[in-house]
Structure 1
Amino acid sequence: MIIYTKTGDNGTTGLYGGKRVTKNHIRIQACGEVDELNSYIGLIRSYNSYKEIDEQLHVIQNTLFNIGAELATPSDRMFSTNEKPKISCLISDKKIFLLEQWIDIMSEKVPPLKQFILPTGNIATSTSHVARTICRRAERSTVTLSEADEIRPLIIKYLNRLSDYLFVLARYFGYLANNKEIPWNPNE
């Protein structure tokens, strides 16, 4: 596989199916932000020493690649005239259900949240917070894309739930390390 094809030297890139768009196209922006998020999930994995969490993050990384593939597919390649997908959709509600299960398990162990907390702590906690904010950005770009072209609403729902997971994961890493959460003080 050749890494450099030179086809993007003019500021365009190819979508699934061969259509070329500019590299600042909203579809490419959404794909890029999902890719950036996936890289940060990998960074969390490098700071994590818990097998169960690593397995969860592995599933999430594969799901994000699947989302990237869907986002890189123009709606005319994805949907037929009767609104049914032409290609097999790569994620389902099961992935969202998994996130919710993992959130519930971690939430049972961390103290109840009574106020906003500052996004800080150990490296795994802080990296999870950074990933959460990147996830929110990817979600916003995907919403913008959905206003310009048809995408499955499930993708937006997944990214929304994933940001919830990453927030709880950040708190969970702090809990495991016995780090005290620092509440937001609007008067400081």
Structure 2
Amino acid sequence: MKLYTRGGDQGETSLIGGRVSKVHPQVEAMGLLDELNSHIGLALAHQTDETLRAQLTKIQHDLFDLGSELMHRNEPPKQVDLAIVTELETWIDELEPKCPPLRRFILPGGSVAAASLHVARTVCRRVERELVEVEVAARQLPYFNRLSDYLFTAARYANVGAGVPDQEYARGADVFKQKKKKE
């Protein structure tokens, strides 16, 4: 089998259920998922922490599964079990206590490992915005919303592991104030 087919040379591509323009929202969403997966792969290449490496590898597989749903013009015959949303929440809950408390917004960056996760997080937010327009992907929105939260937390955790503090946004007020306990 040859890598190239020439089938898309006129600006169209195939989905299961028919051909569409390469600017069709589903095709755009699939491209963004590919971009996100590539950024996660880059972030993975910068990680030394085995927990993050295992989690990011699992996420890459999940993204391929979710992308397969987008290959269908109509509702796909098989859908990904969205228990993966709960899995992300569990990972966030495990990593967050290992990070310093949030008092202010933080700037993306720090170590290379963390900065690469922040880039993946911003691409994930773009995927989420694009999926709002894709009817067959509406059920996936909670996953991408939670994935961006995970990537934020993972970036902070990567900075902790590298011994690099998060850079707080200096011109903002404390936005993560602790609620006072009523006595």
Aligned to 2:171: 186
**Letter of the aligned partner of 2:120 in structure 1?**
A
Cα drift, residue 50 of structure 1? 1.9
Gaps of 5+ in 2: 173-183
Corresponding residue of 2:50: 51
One-letter code aligned to 2:58: V
Please give the alpha-carbon distance, in whole angstroms, between the structure 2 residues aligned to 1:37 and 1:6: 26
Alignment of 1:13-162 (within 5 A): 13-17=13-17, 19-75=18-74, 78=75, 87-89=77-79, 91-145=80-134, 150-162=135-147
Other structure's SS at 1:156 match: helix
Q: 1:184 offset after TM fit, Å?
A: 0.8
Is contact 1:92–1:154 with CA below 8 Å preserved after alignment?
A: no
DSSP 3-state at the match of 2:40: helix
C-alpha separation between the residues in 1 aligned to 2:121 and 2:137? 21
Q: TM-score, normalised by structure 2?
A: 0.89
Pair 41,172 (structure 1): closer, same or farther in 2 beyond 3 Å: same
Residue 107 (structure 1) shift: 0.3
* Count of aligned pairs between the two proteins: 172
Give the counterpart letter for 1:181 in structure 2. Answer: D
- What's the TM-score once normalised by structure 1's chain length? 0.87
Measure, in 2, the Cα distance between the counterparts of 1:36 and 1:186. 32
Summarize the Cα distance change of 1:56–1:104 in structure 2 as closer, same or farther, 3 Å threshold: same
Quote the sequence identity (%): 42
User: Can you list the C-alpha shifts for 1:101-156, whole angstroms capped at 9, x where unaligned?
Assistant: 110110010011111010011111100000000000000000122xxxx3253311
1:7 corresponds to which letter in structure 2?
G
Q: Could you tell me how far 1:6 is from its partner in structure 2?
A: 0.2
Counterpart of 1:87, as a letter, is P
CA distance in 2, matches of 1:2, 1:119: 41
Is the 2:121–2:151 Cα contact (8 Å) retained in structure 1? yes
Q: 1:22 to 1:152 in 2, by over 3 A?
A: closer
Structure 1: how far apart are the matches of 2:171 and 2:16? 47
Give secondary structure in 2 for the equivalent of 1:144. Answer: coil
Name the residue aligned to 1:8: 8
Letter in 1 for 2:115: S
- Report the secondary structure of 2:13's partner residue: strand
Q: Secondary structure at the match of 1:3?
A: coil
SS in 1 for 2:136: coil
